[in-house]
Structures are given as structure tokens and as C-alpha cells.
């Protein structure tokens, strides 16, 4: 092999390695499935407190607080009682992995019809152990069944944002339980 041929092969090898390194750096973001957007929330490792602020209404508390203490969940506001285990476990499972949005586009003009107007959305904040600020903070709108699949989807947006997302999980019902149903022994299992 001539020196020129060998130098060409070495140069080509370097170009290929640099090209692969460039692609690795550029595409180092998370892999997405088809139909999945880049918006995600969580996971929340060790959720400790969940704050739910329902939209104003008759006989609706301003704030509902669920708090985990000694591996048990409690309703701390507006009443003091042990939390329904099934509901608490549903929240823990929901935030154990990242929640992702699909790639469908929704405009701000659809906010009201999707339950995401400032007056109609439920404000949800999830705090990890020892956190002063929420690990997840969302305005939660309607939970609907995806056409043709039966899968449940929940519409959300971030506070202060006009961008709407359809999350690949059905959790709108969790944030809308009446306080009585959040208390152990009060909800039909």
C-alpha cells in the first residue's frame, strides 16, 4: 500500500469518526417515539407533597394538600385524614416515570374548550422530598378518550404559558376527586 493511499484511508477514517461524534452530540437528546413531542414532565423521585388547586366553585376548597409521612399519605388540607391508598398510589405511579406529550398541535384559542382557561383549569404542583419548589407544576384540563384507540389523554399547559399539550396519560380525573373521595374509607374501591 502506498503512503498516499494509506493517508487517504486515514483521512477518511478521521472524517467518519468526526462525523459520527458530531451526530452523537447533536442527537444526544432523548429518543422519541413516533407521534411523541419533546415536552415531558417528571419523573418526581420520592414525591412528598401534592397540592391541588381546583377551579373556583360552590363548596370547593381553595387548596387540597396530600402529604406523605412515614410511607403513608395524608390529606392535610382542607381536612386532616389518612388519604385513600388507591388514589395516593395512582399519584405515585403517575410521576414515577416521565410524562410525555404527543405531537398533536393545539392552539391557545382551544384552551377554554379543553378545560385550560385560567378559571377552569386545576393547578397541580408535585414536590419531591425536601423540595421548596415543585418538581412538576401544571394546569390540568380535560381528560378525554383518544379517538379510535380508547386510550385516555389529559390536556395540560404550564402556568404562564399559552402552549397546550395532550399528555399520553389519563390523570385529569385524579385531580378532580372531591375531598371526601381522597380520604381512606370514603371512596368506593
42 and 128 fall within a common domain: yes
**Does some domain include residue 104?**
yes
Question: Which pTM was predicted?
Answer: 0.77
**What DSSP line would sit under 115-173, residue for residue?**
T-STTTPEEEEEEETT-SS-SEEEEEEEEEEPTTT--EEEEEE-TT----EEESS--TT
What pLDDT digit, counting tens, does each position of 22-40 carry?
A: 444 333 333 434 445 688 9
Supply φ then ψ for residue 74, to 5 degrees: -130, 145
101 and 141 fall within a common domain: yes
Do residues 21 and 33 touch, judged by C-beta distance below 8 A?
Answer: no
153 and 134 fall within a common domain: yes
What pLDDT digit, counting tens, does each position of 132-152 carry?
A: 999 999 999 999 998 888 899
Q: For residues 63 and 84, what is the distance between their CA atoms, to the nearest angstrom?
A: 17
Amino acid at each position: 500500500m502506498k503512503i498516499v493511499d494509506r493517508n487517504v484511508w486515514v483521512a477518511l477514517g478521521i472524517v467518519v469518526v468526526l462525523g459520527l461524534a458530531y451526530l452523537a452530540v447533536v442527537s444526544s437528546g432523548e429518543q422519541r417515539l413516533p407521534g411523541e413531542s419533546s415536552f415531558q414532565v417528571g419523573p418526581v423521585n420520592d414525591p412528598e407533597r401534592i397540592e391541588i388547586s381546583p377551579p373556583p366553585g360552590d363548596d370547593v376548597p381553595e387548596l387540597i394538600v396530600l402529604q406523605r409521612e412515614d410511607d403513608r399519605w395524608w390529606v392535610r388540607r382542607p381536612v386532616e385524614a389518612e388519604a385513600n391508598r388507591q388514589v395516593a398510589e395512582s399519584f405515585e405511579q403517575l410521576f414515577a416515570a416521565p410524562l410525555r406529550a404527543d405531537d398533536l398541535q393545539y392552539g391557545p384559542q382551544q384552551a377554554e374548550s379543553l378545560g385550560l382557561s385560567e378559571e377552569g383549569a386545576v393547578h397541580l404542583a408535585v414536590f419531591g422530598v425536601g423540595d421548596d419548589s415543585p418538581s412538576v407544576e401544571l394546569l390540568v384540563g380535560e381528560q378525554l378518550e383518544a379517538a379510535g384507540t380508547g386510550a385516555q389523554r389529559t390536556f395540560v399547559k404550564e402556568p404562564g404559558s399559552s402552549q397546550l399539550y395532550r399528555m399520553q396519560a389519563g390523570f385529569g380525573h385524579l385531580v378532580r376527586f372531591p375531598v371526601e373521595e381522597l380520604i381512606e374509607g370514603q371512596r368506593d374501591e
